[in-house]
Structure 1
């Protein structure tokens, strides 16, 4: 539970001097943890003991500068128009929802990817969402997996194995440039399967993450795939965020 309290995000820039979670943030997340654990499900939530740890001030200033420079379109995408559309409809939200049950034949929804010793959670999760949406939008007819590897190596503004400053940048790249198909490490599935070895341990050691990894954008498909990179590209029409 290390996400900053959503109520404080609006004033996040004014909190530049603050390190980690405030006491209000901590109490907010503890209340969520208490609620989850009272449900007595198959897992237990705990508070991240590192949530209030000190953060390098230089990194903080760089992130604030970058976030101040990005455009409204970069932050929100098509969210505003999407919200207007939702408001125009009379929607009845269900008490519970499970995408696995709603779209049981979408193979990607049931998968959990292994990012290995690469700080690519932003890319792996984004590629998974893209694959899910592709299956849903085509009523199960297109079960291709979007390549997280293509996203990591070719989207310069997104980030790489060192993480991303804004996860929505992956979806902006998907819409504007397109992404090819892929698969898990060693699977030879799709145009560009995942390239990072997943056997770094569970969890991966800090030493593994300290290794500098340089991704090279290669716009070619693996030799066993039957299409060219350009032929395999898939792009989206729009994207939204729930930030």
Structure 2
């Protein structure tokens, strides 16, 4: 019975795209479309962010080589927020900004690694997104696979932002630099490693259980033009063409006052976007395939 209900839910989620809204999006002036869409009172609202260009950059490779883990069935709460569960870990509460660079895959994976290093190793550290210079030398701003970032965390370790501050020009132009910009820090001594890395079984239940047990995760999903315009509410893909893949940091889940169930994620486009940098995404959307690309790891405890 549960399987039938769940399949029906997935079919409903897959049918949310609205061709009429899509045609309005393509033909109306921006300000008219914003007013039109918001007047429909869907589960979410849009905004015109002007000339701000939000960069996508995830590459979702099914041949990532990571093991898939799952969890025994547990009774899940309706609401979970890692910011509340591990309130002592300040990185979980932070929203970052990748700026004009397709480095979302670095931010999602490395920021979640910072969170988990605090949760499980008791070490408060901001790990460096700039390690992209060694993960994808001169290519990080063109995007990459978050699964490869968590694998890098295991094999090569990640240094802190004090060692390697975020520098877009360097990501574009420099090769791998195994050195710290801060001369007082020794690169090899600043490394923080993971014990393992894995993909989470692609079900709402397994992903939710992993969040509750081990903390934030990096997720990749199919991105459409409407996601760029998200302001608040529970995002459901309604209009806009495919524009690439995106990665965010998954930190929780819940059900809103209208009964819409959602994932809670921290984006890396700054606090001016969305709900002060956060987004709620309806779970189980076939078009997004978010549940198919969920990755994490556990820090090595010395």
**Structures share fold, TM-score greater than 0.5:** yes
1:128 pairs with one of 86, 90, 111: 111
Contact 1:154–1:217 (Cα < 8 Å) also in 2: yes
Compute the displacement of 1:227 (Å): 2.6
Compute the displacement of 1:228 (Å): 0.8
DSSP 3-state at the match of 1:238 = strand
Instruction: Find the counterpart in structure 2 of residue 170 from structure 1.
Output: 149
Where in structure 2 are the equivalents of 1:1-243 lying within 5 Å?
Answer: 27-28=15-16, 44=45, 67=61, 71=63, 74-75=64-65, 77-79=66-68, 82-83=69-70, 86-87=71-72, 91-138=74-121, 141-150=122-131, 152-156=132-136, 159-164=139-144, 166-182=145-161, 190-196=162-168, 213-223=172-182, 226-242=184-200, 243=292
Compute the displacement of 1:157 (Å): 8.3
Cα-to-partner distance string for 1:90-120 (whole Å, 9 max, x where unaligned)? 5221111011111111110111111111110
- Bigger fraction of residues in strand: 2
Cα pair distance change 1:173/1:158, threshold 3 Å: farther
Distance in 1 separating the partners of 2:172 and 2:128: 18
Contact 2:106–2:149 (Cα < 8 Å) also in 1: yes
DSSP 3-state at the match of 2:116 = helix
Contact 2:130–2:165 (Cα < 8 Å) also in 1: yes
How many residues align? The count is: 159
Cα pair distance change 1:130/1:29, threshold 3 Å: farther
Structure 1 residue runs without a partner (length 5+):
1-6, 8-23, 31-36, 47-62, 183-189, 198-211
Contact 2:138–2:173 (Cα < 8 Å) also in 1: no
Compute the displacement of 1:159 (Å): 4.7
Distance in 1 separating the partners of 2:16 and 2:197: 29
Please tell me the root mean square deviation across aligned C-alpha atoms, in Å.
3.3
DSSP 3-state at the match of 1:234 = coil
TM-score by length of 1: 0.56
Cα pair distance change 1:157/1:28, threshold 3 Å: farther
DSSP 3-state at the match of 2:198 = coil
Distance in 2 separating the partners of 1:102 and 1:25: 29
Contact 1:119–1:163 (Cα < 8 Å) also in 2: yes
Contact 2:137–2:174 (Cα < 8 Å) also in 1: no
Contact 1:147–1:193 (Cα < 8 Å) also in 2: yes
TM-score by length of 2: 0.46
Instruction: Find the counterpart in structure 2 of residue 50 from structure 1.
Output: none
Cα pair distance change 1:156/1:103, threshold 3 Å: same
Distance in 1 separating the partners of 2:17 and 2:114: 31
Compute the displacement of 1:192 (Å): 0.6
